[in-house]
């Protein structure tokens, strides 16, 4: 695993946590949560089943299904990880497989 990529991922998650706690983070870009169709598209593009994708996100399959159906919205770290998965699913999958 690329140590620099891992450090960047950790830093991003720490910044997201700081923002969630109301702290100002210099240079932070806030993204809205992906909607259900976008979440399903991210999962499909990564080539993962709901069970596999839920495990990566640390969520239950039922929760993921509700996100994809649009009846619930991911928040916090799950939303951030979804955005990272959207941009570079291989990096996340490789990082978690190590």
User: Would the CA dihedral through 48, 49, 52, 54 be positive or negative?
Assistant: positive
Q: Tell me the average pLDDT of the chain.
A: 88
Residue 48 — pLDDT band, cuts 50, 70, 90?
very high
Q: Please name the fold of domain 3-22+34-97.
A: 434 Repressor (Amino-terminal Domain) (1.10.260)
Cα(12)–Cα(44) distance, integer angstroms: 24
Q: Is the pLDDT of residue 29 over 80?
A: no
Mean pLDDT on 54-79: 93
- What letter would DSSP give residue 27? T
What does the domain layout of the chain look like in residue ranges?
3-22+34-97
pTM: 0.66
- DSSP string spanning 31-91? -PPP-HHHHHHHHHHHT--HHHHHHHHT--HHHHHHHHHTSS---HHHHHHHHHHHH-HHH
Q: Is the pLDDT of residue 21 over 90?
A: no
Q: Is the pLDDT of residue 31 over 90?
A: no
């Amino acid at each position: 695993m690329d140590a620099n990529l891992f450090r960047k991922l950790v830093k991003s998650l720490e910044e997201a946590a700081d923002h969630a706690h109301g702290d100002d983070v210099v240079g932070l870009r806030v993204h809205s949560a992906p909607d259900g169709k976008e979440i399903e598209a991210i999962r499909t593009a990564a080539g993962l089943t709901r069970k596999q994708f839920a495990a990566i996100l640390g969520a239950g399959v039922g929760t993921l299904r509700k996100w994809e159906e649009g009846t619930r919205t991911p928040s916090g770290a799950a939303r951030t990880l979804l955005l990272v998965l959207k941009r570079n699913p291989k990096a996340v999958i490789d990082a978690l497989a190590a």
